[in-house]
Structure 1
Amino acid sequence: MRLGDGIAELSVDDAVRASVSYDQLRAGDDGLYWLETRADAGGGTTVTRWRSGEGNRDVSPAGFNVASGVHAYGGGSFAVVEGTLWCVGGDGLYRSRRYGDEIELVSHGCFGGLTIGDGELLAVRELEQGDQIVAVSLTGAPQMRTLVSSRGFFGAPRPGPGWLAWTAWSERDMPWDACEVWVASYSPRGSVEDPVKLAGGPNESAVEPQWGPDGALYFASDRNDWWNLYRWNGLNVEAVAPIAGECAAEPWELAYASYGFLDDGRIVVAVQKGPRHRLVVIEPDGTVRPVDLPYTSIKPYLAVRGTAVALIGSSPTAAPQVALIDLADADPQVEVLARSEHAGLDGARVSTPTELRVRVASGREVLALVYPPTGAAADWRAPVIVRVHPGPTASCLLRLDWQAQFFTSRGFAVVDVDYLGSTGYGRVFRESLYGRWGLDDVDDCTIVAMHLLSAGRTVLGQVFIRGASAGGYTALHAVARDGPFAAATAVSAIVDPDRWAQTVPRFQRAHAMRLRGGAGRVRAAAVHPPLLLIHGTADEVAVVEDVCQLAEELTSLGTAPEVLLLADVGHYVASSRRAGAALEAELNHYRSVMAGAANDHSGCTAASGSR
């Protein structure tokens, strides 16, 4: 099918098949390794290795899904050493002695943050009553022993010469609110002795510790609002280089690596400010130099090889790629090792976003990324889908999103909003949504929609809002008040913050407690515009029962929503095997609303591009 202006509609299959995800990039003894999640393979995740001169190959056993459920969001789910793959599956820790061979269970349990030490594997093990840092022997029959225990949470352990470093936070906190860096003397196969807290506390998030080649311990701290780099030289903690941006990612997962050490003494860092990422190098004298790259979004997984750094990068015109950047010269050389587009989308025409800034009453600005309909003229006018990112500490990302292109190729404009609480604007901004959830985030999305209406970019009756997870909660509250939205789509949505605080995995209970106190439970009686609810029946983050109860209440009031329940799908619908069905349902939902409005007001003309 083609639009009238000659733009080809992106098929559901293409939108899903193109959504290959790369994660957890790291350097190993014999190459680079990363996780590859392929939606067209049912969302399964494999470990892929790149070796110079050999290219890429899967090294995890065929059919084995490498995935960690630690802290509900995972992270650090594999490590490699001397031809052996250690990885986490659904029910425990596994070992494959030769790449691709059969895999053996080492221990049942919930593991993550896998790190190779001197002759042993270090990891975080999550129990019902708290976390442990454990050590596992690499040879012979694996023996596991506990090094440190806590009723709270641990980040990935980081061994150094004679030392062990880790992050920790209490069960009452989230790691982006109050996270501590600890060090202790430690020798392999020994015990942890005399632990000392170096940084972090109730008003400081200290994350991503790494031992530098100079023997100092580096970490990122937001003690001055932005996550910036600091070092501990054994005596004192000092700032490395002030940067107006986030030098670390909000730690939803374990084992992020937002910076790394080049062989020539420089530090390479991925920095986020607003929706944009950039790569910088910090010289030994503290000078910060930008690196000119074709990427505007960089995942927090940098892997250094000599004077080169491997990264997962993307831009509005390039889907995620694994690239190796040679930083030896002033003019960096980029070698693409893997790219997520399949052959059928090479050269496909895409919609590129523009940044929109709208000032609110308090004087601050709300930033949004506006994707016009594909191929639209400068004075475009179209139906608009306002997308609310999940988290809500996540952020809009300036990268090619094939599922957004699915809609823009059909004449819709897609608008991503960095509402209050998003990451990329400093600690104060990130914390400002606490106690205001369902209020200020809704206000920010509403004011962006109203701006587009007043600018003539769209018309009433063709403005929609959609969100997933916490973004689904925002979308629901947006249609539970008077406003510009003609319909909403809520995917894997949270409905009741108080109930969510009881059912959410323990990692996020503190988040639920801090966010609530704003709009409260979504009240069915307040919801009037048409509603589509999409939810996986196996969702453990936002349980399906809450959405089903809301649907029943709406039905009893005569405003039955559309409901799409996806059997055996978890919290991440967009990367599941049913992602295509969800996209089609969402598209049909908006078209149905517009068709109904056209029938009710036959004298009105639908905006160009709606079908």
Structure 2
Amino acid sequence: MRPGGRIPEVSVEDAVRASVSYDELRTADDGLYWLETRPDAGGGTAVARWRSGEGKRDVSPKGLDVASGVHAYGGGSFAAAKGTLWCAGPDGVYRSRRRDDQLDLIAYGSFGDLTVGDGELLAVRESERGDELIALTFTAAPPMRTLAVSPGFLGAPRTAPGWLAWTAWSERDMPWDACEVWVARYSPGGVIENPVKVAGGAGESAVEPQWGPDGALYFVSDRSGWWNLYRWDGLKAQAVAPIAGECAAEPWELGYASYGFLDDGQIVVAVQEGPRHRLVVIGPEGIVRPVDLPYTSIKPYLAVRGTTVALIGSSPTVAPQVALVELAGADPQVEVLARSEHAALDGAQVSTPTELRVRVARGREVLALVYPPTGSAADWQAPVIVRAHPGPTASCLLRLDWQAQFFTSHGFAVVDVDYLGSTGYGRAFRESLYGRWGLADVDDCAAVAVHLLTAGRAVAGQVFIRGASAGGYTALHAVTQDGPFAAATAVSAIVDPYRWAQTVPRFQRAHAMRLRGGAGPVRAAAVQRPVLLIHGTADGVAVVEDVRELADEMTSLGMAPAVLLLPDVGHYVASSRRAGAALEAELVHYRSVMANAANDQQALHSRQR
């Protein structure tokens, strides 16, 4: 605790300003590039470049929000080569030439996975009819050629001399359920010839193809039950190094790179095991060597040059940062290039989590990360906010989250739950929520809450559940039944899985179909606890009309929810320009429930006198 004994509260403004997000890290011939999303600047996203001796600066055109809308969640939003930057934007692909400061819209449509090839730009273009692999040549007015088409989905166009690799999955699948890796003969300016499926299909997710320096094609497959690295030599595919962990992230976005090749023949890989990430190096004989780093969370964007890997890492005490890690010596050397911090929070005391494992039905364990109130004693007791992560195939992560710290600095404990269906525990665990959504996830969150109550950590009547997107559906169902939760906050929530399957972007329709069949729609008449609904009016993933209808039905039944609708905000409220308003509303919601409960208790005591 700081001198004076009082823990300073983290303000809404500071929590938002410190929540800069880094993504899509990649190398180019003139430096290291990445995306920066800055909530305090209206939630806009810019491309930053770092050069040795020059440092970091923005290089994308001012006023252009660099973001891919492909497959609803985007990815692969930019590419850079030879003084030119290509960016996905609101109308298509833009070219920015730094030598003449000119910005051109060169192709219309929804593009992603922009990749520099030999004299051309490769990309995925999506329409409601399906996907295309596109090639754009590096000329003043690049003609656009279609290399492949699919009524389903395409991704990861990756070239090698004379070859092209890519991924494909059907409109009936999510890429983490069934995804294929394909290769074909290809030369720039030409056409795809004799395509061959290398891996993947029903029951196997094969993702992230890359051509190795040895000329072989590498990819990640979960055929063993874990996403592990494989090598295809043109005849057969073999495991590079079996690891009981996920060597790829769940592919919500295009453009992921969970591994890369060092120039000494070794392969560097980011591995997820539960909520924790680690970096490993795989030697030529398949020997796995861990790399000692100050990070417990690593994003799936590794960028390798020589014996150095650039990564986006964080930990419970280190906000996300872009770092260079030199792997040539016995001990890795880390150089931080950019960090997500805010001057007002420098040196601020933070709450660090402990891992909690709770036994649930059928002998299964659920893991949770428990963040006690900031500065609390070892025997703390406090109001608790249980958070159900989105996805539901996402996971809770061991990294500094200033929006969680906002609540812990205000006297709450925050608990993140890796409920059934989370990534980081293998394919079987991930698939087990299908048909049980709104049931098993709710049971897992409730089991953690009950454990904390029984252990004397949580205060009875002051345990809340909060979730976003799929987690919002979990939170709402959690308060339709008797249980430990006194109230719920649902952000960008899915309300009716059946109707969601009709309105969700086509990328996620298969997900909606497989998840549904558990608890069904959230019924207004079933809600038993106070609810706060926070939703962006421009949400294209979970439409606001469903939340408005639920709110109206609850109001007509005399149990009006608190509602915060955010104009022109999309699905990601936490990184939007209205993130602060959402945080403030959530804090007010919990305090209001606690105050009402205290007033009711006081009134009861008065009547008993």
State the TM-score, normalized to the length of structure 2: 0.98
What is the identity, as a one-letter code, of the residue corresponding to 2:507? F
C-alpha displacement of 1:235: 1.3
- Contact persistence 1:205–1:222 (CA under 8 A): yes
What is the identity, as a one-letter code, of the residue corresponding to 2:320? P
C-alpha offsets along residues 511-561 of structure 1, whole Å, 9 cap, x if unaligned? 000000000000111101100000000000000000000000000111000
After TM superposition, list the pairs within 5 Å mapping 1:584-603 onto structure 2: 584-602=584-602
Task: Give SS of 1:471's match.
Answer: helix
C-alpha displacement of 1:604: 10
C-alpha displacement of 1:155: 1.1
Task: Give SS of 1:460's match.
Answer: strand
Task: Give SS of 1:16's match.
Answer: helix
After TM superposition, list the pairs within 5 Å mapping 1:155-174 onto structure 2: 155-174=155-174
Corresponding residue for residue 232 of structure 1: 232
After TM superposition, list the pairs within 5 Å mapping 1:366-405 onto structure 2: 366-405=366-405
Is 1:214–2:214 an aligned residue pair?
yes
After TM superposition, list the pairs within 5 Å mapping 1:527-542 onto structure 2: 527-542=527-542
After TM superposition, list the pairs within 5 Å mapping 1:120-519 onto structure 2: 120-519=120-519
- Contact persistence 1:59–1:100 (CA under 8 A): no
C-alpha displacement of 1:459: 2.0
Corresponding residue for residue 571 of structure 1: 571
1:571–1:204 distance in 2 versus 1, CA, 3 Å: same
What is the identity, as a one-letter code, of the residue corresponding to 2:476? L
Corresponding residue for residue 14 of structure 1: 14
C-alpha offsets along residues 218-237 of structure 1, whole Å, 9 cap, x if unaligned? 00000000000001011111
> What is the alpha-carbon distance in structure 1 between the residues aligned to residue 100 and residue 205 of structure 2?
39
Corresponding residue for residue 608 of structure 1: none
- Contact persistence 1:58–1:100 (CA under 8 A): no
C-alpha offsets along residues 68-106 of structure 1, whole Å, 9 cap, x if unaligned? 000000000000010000010011111001179241101
C-alpha offsets along residues 110-137 of structure 1, whole Å, 9 cap, x if unaligned? 0000000000000000011000000000
What is the identity, as a one-letter code, of the residue corresponding to 1:469? S
> What is the alpha-carbon distance in structure 1 between the residues aligned to residue 488 and residue 100 of structure 2?
45
Task: Give SS of 2:349's match.
Answer: coil
Corresponding residue for residue 525 of structure 2: 525
C-alpha displacement of 1:361: 2.2
> What is the alpha-carbon distance in structure 1 between the residues aligned to residue 342 and residue 31 of structure 2?
24
Runs of 4+ off more than 4 Å: 2-5
C-alpha offsets along residues 309-355 of structure 1, whole Å, 9 cap, x if unaligned? 00000000000000000000110000000001022211110000000
C-alpha displacement of 1:3: 13
- Contact persistence 1:113–1:254 (CA under 8 A): yes
Name structure 1 gaps, 5 residues minimum. 606-611
> What is the alpha-carbon distance in structure 2 between the residues aligned to residue 156 and residue 602 of structure 1?
62
What is the identity, as a one-letter code, of the residue corresponding to 1:176? W
Task: Give SS of 1:251's match.
Answer: coil
Name structure 2 gaps, 5 residues minimum. none
> What is the alpha-carbon distance in structure 2 between the residues aligned to residue 102 and residue 120 of structure 1?
19
1:239–1:375 distance in 2 versus 1, CA, 3 Å: same
What is the identity, as a one-letter code, of the residue corresponding to 1:123? A
- Contact persistence 1:60–1:100 (CA under 8 A): no
C-alpha offsets along residues 175-212 of structure 1, whole Å, 9 cap, x if unaligned? 00000000000001110011010100110000000000
> What is the alpha-carbon distance in structure 2 between the residues aligned to residue 330 and residue 266 of structure 1?
14
> What is the alpha-carbon distance in structure 1 between the residues aligned to residue 510 and residue 23 of structure 2?
26
Task: Give SS of 1:475's match.
Answer: helix
C-alpha offsets along residues 259-313 of structure 1, whole Å, 9 cap, x if unaligned? 0000000000000000000000000111000000000000000000110000000
- Contact persistence 1:113–1:124 (CA under 8 A): yes
Q: Which moved more, 1:331-340 or 1:458-467?
A: 458-467
C-alpha displacement of 1:4: 9.5
After TM superposition, list the pairs within 5 Å mapping 1:103-114 onto structure 2: 103-114=103-114
Is 1:79–2:79 an aligned residue pair?
yes
- Contact persistence 1:59–1:99 (CA under 8 A): no
State the TM-score, normalized to the length of structure 1: 0.98
> What is the alpha-carbon distance in structure 1 between the residues aligned to residue 320 and residue 103 of structure 2?
29
- Contact persistence 1:598–1:604 (CA under 8 A): no
- Contact persistence 1:181–1:199 (CA under 8 A): yes
Q: Which moved more, 1:95-104 or 1:187-196?
A: 95-104
- Contact persistence 1:217–1:233 (CA under 8 A): yes
Task: Give SS of 1:285's match.
Answer: coil
Is 1:39–2:39 an aligned residue pair?
yes
> What is the alpha-carbon distance in structure 2 between the residues aligned to residue 479 and residue 160 of structure 1?
54
- Contact persistence 1:3–1:410 (CA under 8 A): no
- Contact persistence 1:3–1:9 (CA under 8 A): no
Task: Give SS of 2:361's match.
Answer: coil
> What is the alpha-carbon distance in structure 2 between the residues aligned to residue 100 and residue 382 of structure 1?
59
1:480–1:328 distance in 2 versus 1, CA, 3 Å: same
C-alpha offsets along residues 142-192 of structure 1, whole Å, 9 cap, x if unaligned? 110000000000012011121100000000000000000000000011100
- Contact persistence 1:60–1:99 (CA under 8 A): no
Corresponding residue for residue 116 of structure 2: 116
Q: How many residues matched?
A: 604
> What is the alpha-carbon distance in structure 1 between the residues aligned to residue 85 and residue 399 of structure 2?
31
Task: Give SS of 1:341's match.
Answer: coil
> What is the alpha-carbon distance in structure 1 between the residues aligned to residue 604 and residue 336 of structure 2?
50
What is the identity, as a one-letter code, of the residue corresponding to 2:314? S
Across the aligned residues of Structure 1 and Structure 2, the Cα RMSD in angstroms comes to 1.3
- Contact persistence 1:23–1:36 (CA under 8 A): yes
1:383–1:98 distance in 2 versus 1, CA, 3 Å: same
What is the identity, as a one-letter code, of the residue corresponding to 2:22? Y
Task: Give SS of 2:106's match.
Answer: strand
Corresponding residue for residue 609 of structure 1: none
> What is the alpha-carbon distance in structure 2 between the residues aligned to residue 381 and residue 58 of structure 1?
45
C-alpha offsets along residues 339-374 of structure 1, whole Å, 9 cap, x if unaligned? 010222111100000000001121111000000000
What is the identity, as a one-letter code, of the residue corresponding to 1:396? C
> What is the alpha-carbon distance in structure 1 between the residues aligned to residue 486 and residue 45 of structure 2?
38
> What is the alpha-carbon distance in structure 1 between the residues aligned to residue 174 and residue 101 of structure 2?
39
- Contact persistence 1:542–1:571 (CA under 8 A): yes
What is the identity, as a one-letter code, of the residue corresponding to 1:62? K
